[in-house]
Structure 1
Amino acid sequence: MSLPKDDKEDIDVAIAEKLGDCEPAAKLSDARVLRKLDIRLIPMLAVLYLMSFLDRGNIGNAKIEGLAEDLHMSGSQYDLTLTVFFLTYAFAEVPSNIMLKRLKPSIWLPSIMVIWGTITTLMGVVKSFNGLLVARVFLGLSEGGLYPGVIYYTTIWYSRKHALLRNALFFSAASIAGAFSGLLAFAIDKMDGVGNLAGWRWIFILEGMATVVIAVIAYFLIYDSPDEASFLTDDEKRWVYEQLNRDGPRAQQNEKFRWNFVTAAFTDWQVLVAMFMNLSLISPIYAISLFLPTIIKNLGFTSTNAQLMTIPIYACAAFMAIAVAWYSDRHLSRSPILFVFYGVIIAGYIITMAGAAASIPGLTYAGVFIVTCGSYKRAVGLAIHVGFGNLGGAMVSNFYRSQDSPKFLLGHGLSLMLVLIGLVAVVILRFGYDHCNKKRDALGYTEGTLSPEEIESLGDKAPTYRYIL
């Protein structure tokens, strides 16, 4: 949606004053600038999230390598260690995004990474269930800020037209982490007995230490805003801002924090409905990452084979996520693709449950494969619905009970229920956004009625803003 001519001219003047004299951004190659952004931003962000997902999910790999037996844990105690992580993880997300706005991303994101990497390492030396439980509480608190922080961070650089593919590249790191987790667990378990430590302990120690090393490197590779990006020319910085402003004027990184931003986010119906959509999408991912090794092992495979059999599932999911995001960005289409993939996830769960009920391991594995493949106001709003979505992890941690092994029909059924709730949320958002767009089209907008600053403060409520359907 283009801005009114006067507003665009005002913004152009403001950018020109900020960046100095430079050639018109229209002369730049979109592909060239995007490629520079992608090379400098996405790999580092993807690695951060890969390590985050690896460190939260490796407990599933450690479990089948002897963690529960060595710490004398019951099935319910293991589930509790999963649950407390997601409770503190969700709690930390809104405060963390507020801190991200007050501090530099290059400081905040690597710092919380150092903390959770240290905690992961210490999980390798715990002596009891209580020690593991405390570690998981603080792991959730420290990890909670990364995902919503990075999603918000990408909005500083990419317009809505270009953002989804980049978020998918970043988010696909979760699937890649799942593949790496199984492969690394298979390799690291060969260290069983080294230093008089069990193999599952080395999983935590080595992966936690790797996280700390990467975090130190990240201090020097994360750029705080386009203004401070030394790899961009002034022309290219202007291009970035013009792309962002085509979505509607948006607050920049140095905007001042106000509590009314928090109130607005908590009372926005779109954020509230999106919470349930996010819940339904994240829950299956956590169910798979936390219980997939156990599910596969209970199909009759050894621990070693179970670790390796997780790899193709996650690899396929990563490829699908990137391909679909590319298509969605190219065609500026969101809800139709969501409808298709909700259908895929639902079909996957039905196949999984049918295979489990009939005790057909191959069918169950195929169903899980399908499920995995389908699967300030802005800062606070993102953190709210992402945080609520991550509460799904706390729920699914208790869906797959040990007494339901090996079929886990209750867990699959409850996960399917969450997916259906999310499908309803998508329908509401689709028609709600369409109604908002049509209402603003009908009312129209008189140029000069609002200043660029007033339009900026309204965000997605501005009369010039249109939602992508």
Structure 2
Amino acid sequence: MDKQWYVADDCLEMSSLENSFTIDSSAKDDAESQNLSKRATKDLLNKIDRHLLPLISVLYLVSCLDRSNLGNAKHAGLAEDLHMTGRDDYNIAISVFFPFYLAVQIPSNLVMKRLRPSLWISTLMLAWAIVTIFLGLVKNYTGLLVLRCALGIAQGGIFPGIVYYLTKWYKRHEYGLRIAIFFSAEVAGGSLNGFLGDSIMELDGVCGLNGWSWIFIVEGLVSLCIAGVAYWRMHDYPDSAKFLAPSEKQTVIRRLDEDASELSDLFELEYVRNALLDWKIWMLMVITVGICIPLYSIGEFLPAIIEDLGYTDERALLMAIPPHAAACLFILGGGYLADKHRQRGVYIIGFCVLAMIGFAILGAVQNSAIKYFACFLVTMGIYPIVPQDVAWNANNIGGSTKRAVGIAMHIGFGNLGGAVAGFIIREDDAPRFVSGHGILLLITAASCLLTVLMTWYLRKENARRDRIYKSPDSYTREEKTFEAEKGDRAPFFRYTI
């Protein structure tokens, strides 16, 4: 009898060991499967990055160069040749661009939703390239203003179009970094804008045209060539991308469907109306205005501070590069961390505080070296906010039509800050710009406060939905489809905080 018990015990022990081995082996297989899946997903995203980001980064860079080359043209004699004698003639020429830039953004994104991105974005690029070339042939101030308005119309759809385009390739917490990448390319390239302008000005007198004319013509011709490349090389959506294998297309589409939570992809005017009436989008629009005013002001006060340090000409242009290079590092770092932690509000608040410290130093001290250091704080604080602010808005809009409109509203209205910046940092206040820096400090502080309030509200709303509704993961596909038309008001939708 005892012997039988020993045998039974041995059998039970062996069975337990076998079960333990089976469970451990299964867990090990699951872990290895997850690691393989993560590696495959990373490889797929890298493949998409290689085929999308270089072209759209170059495209966005040249769009920014073409709309900001008025400063180089002024330096090359534009104001004198066009008899711009009024005190604010130059600032008006800068600012008149922005209302038209704003007006076309919603219609442009709606058109792009119906057309292929490679067709629509390339056509917009072709249009602004032609306008830029004609700017080089303008003969009077009125003509300059008219063409600046036309440039705003042609370029208005580019930034919101690219952002919406990325949302059709990446999940919600993946495209913050991608927006940061192409935006950092513009910041880095923009710091070299002065060298580009000086180089083109060497054509002064060729074909009887002044140097400023050649700045517009050469840059317009470059944009024209890139537009041709974009028609040929820009990919539309994952289901038609030639660089993806059939299985990869299915994987991308599946990931996007899961991320979209079955929310509606239909084009209906009701979703346009929902975007126009969503107070959260309007709140972020106001926040962005408060960021864009300081952002556009950097180009107004940084050259004066560098000149105070004793640098001129090429050396002055070189001294403008380090603050922008530091900003690029923070843009990319902020984009990576915000996506990784799936939070944006806290990063925007931190960047606002950093910029506010910089503005406080700029307004309080007279030492030029310390003011130059403060410019690093300002650029490292202001520039990284833009891609995260844009991604934050896009993350929290449910449904593709509402998202297309909401992105356009946000970016368009926010860029009105560029129309105001020239009137805050004025040449008459140089070199200290005390009042201007004080205003920029208050504006940034206001955006910071609104971001705190928005973050608090989104946390509270997510907690309310967690309390009232079941977990988003527990909803079936049919349940999600039934609630699809509610967009970000659907009970299974959770906001990015």
On whether the aligned pair clears a TM of 0.5, the verdict is: yes
Partner residue of 2:381?
374
SS class of match (2:416) = helix
Flag the 1:143–1:58 CA change in 2: closer, same or farther, 3 A: same
CA distance in 2, matches of 1:417, 1:232: 49
Partner residue of 2:78?
67
1:230-309 to structure 2, matched below 5 A, reads: 230-249=242-261, 255-289=265-299, 292-293=302-303, 296-297=306-307, 301-309=311-319
CA distance in 2, matches of 1:102, 1:175: 31
Partner residue of 1:466?
494
Contact 1:75 1:402 in 2 (8 A): no
- Residue in structure 2 matching 1:48, options 35, 39, 59: 59
2:319 paired with 1:312: no
Instruction: Output one character per residue of 1:290-311: Cα deviation in whole Å (capped at 9) or x when no partner.
Output: 6644664576643444333322
5+ residue gaps, structure 1: 1-24
CA distance in 2, matches of 1:69, 1:178: 25
Flag the 1:234–1:271 CA change in 2: closer, same or farther, 3 A: same
Contact 1:249 1:455 in 2 (8 A): no
Displacement of 1:87 in angstroms is 1.2
2:137 paired with 1:125: yes
Instruction: Identify which of structures 1 and 2 has the higher relative contact order when contacts are C-alpha pairs closer than 8 Å and 6+ apart.
Output: 1
Partner residue of 2:369?
362
SS class of match (1:219) = helix
CA distance in 2, matches of 1:193, 1:310: 29
Displacement of 1:116 in angstroms is 0.8
Flag the 1:195–1:241 CA change in 2: closer, same or farther, 3 A: same
5+ residue gaps, structure 2: 1-35, 383-400
Contact 2:62 2:223 in 1 (8 A): yes
Partner residue of 2:387?
none
Displacement of 1:27 in angstroms is 8.4
CA distance in 2, matches of 1:91, 1:212: 24
Displacement of 1:353 in angstroms is 2.2
- Residue in structure 1 matching 2:418, options 383, 393, 405: 393
SS class of match (2:236) = coil
CA distance in 1, matches of 2:202, 2:377: 31
CA distance in 2, matches of 1:50, 1:361: 30
Partner residue of 2:484?
456
Superposed CA RMSD in Å reads: 2.3
Displacement of 1:367 in angstroms is 2.1
**Counterpart amino acid of residue 99 in structure 2:** L
Partner residue of 2:20?
none
Flag the 1:90–1:296 CA change in 2: closer, same or farther, 3 A: farther
**Counterpart amino acid of residue 417 in structure 2:** G
Which stretch of structure 1 is more off in the superposition, 236-245 or 323-332?
236-245
Partner residue of 1:199?
211
Displacement of 1:54 in angstroms is 0.8
Displacement of 1:161 in angstroms is 2.0
Partner residue of 1:12?
none
Displacement of 1:448 in angstroms is 5.1
Flag the 1:115–1:273 CA change in 2: closer, same or farther, 3 A: same
CA distance in 1, matches of 2:39, 2:298: 44
Flag the 1:217–1:240 CA change in 2: closer, same or farther, 3 A: same
**Counterpart amino acid of residue 373 in structure 2:** A
Displacement of 1:365 in angstroms is 2.6
Contact 1:60 1:294 in 2 (8 A): no
Contact 1:57 1:290 in 2 (8 A): no
SS class of match (2:242) = coil
TM-score (norm 1): 0.88
CA distance in 2, matches of 1:249, 1:125: 52
Instruction: Output one character per residue of 1:314-359: Cα deviation in whole Å (capped at 9) or x when no partner.
Output: 222222211221122222232222121111111111222234xx2x
CA distance in 2, matches of 1:347, 1:291: 16
Displacement of 1:106 in angstroms is 0.8
Instruction: Output one character per residue of 1:81-122: Cα deviation in whole Å (capped at 9) or x when no partner.
Output: 111111111111111111111211111101111111111122
CA distance in 1, matches of 2:274, 2:439: 32
CA distance in 2, matches of 1:307, 1:59: 16
Percentage identity across paired residues of the two chains: 39
Contact 2:184 2:328 in 1 (8 A): yes
Flag the 1:202–1:379 CA change in 2: closer, same or farther, 3 A: same
Partner residue of 1:324?
334
Contact 1:396 1:411 in 2 (8 A): no
Matched pairs, number: 440
1:172-183 to structure 2, matched below 5 A, reads: 172-183=184-195
Flag the 1:193–1:299 CA change in 2: closer, same or farther, 3 A: farther
2:100 paired with 1:88: yes
TM-score (norm 2): 0.83
Flag the 1:247–1:152 CA change in 2: closer, same or farther, 3 A: same
Partner residue of 1:7?
none
Flag the 1:142–1:250 CA change in 2: closer, same or farther, 3 A: farther
Which stretch of structure 1 is more off in the superposition, 321-330 or 242-251?
242-251
Displacement of 1:64 in angstroms is 2.7
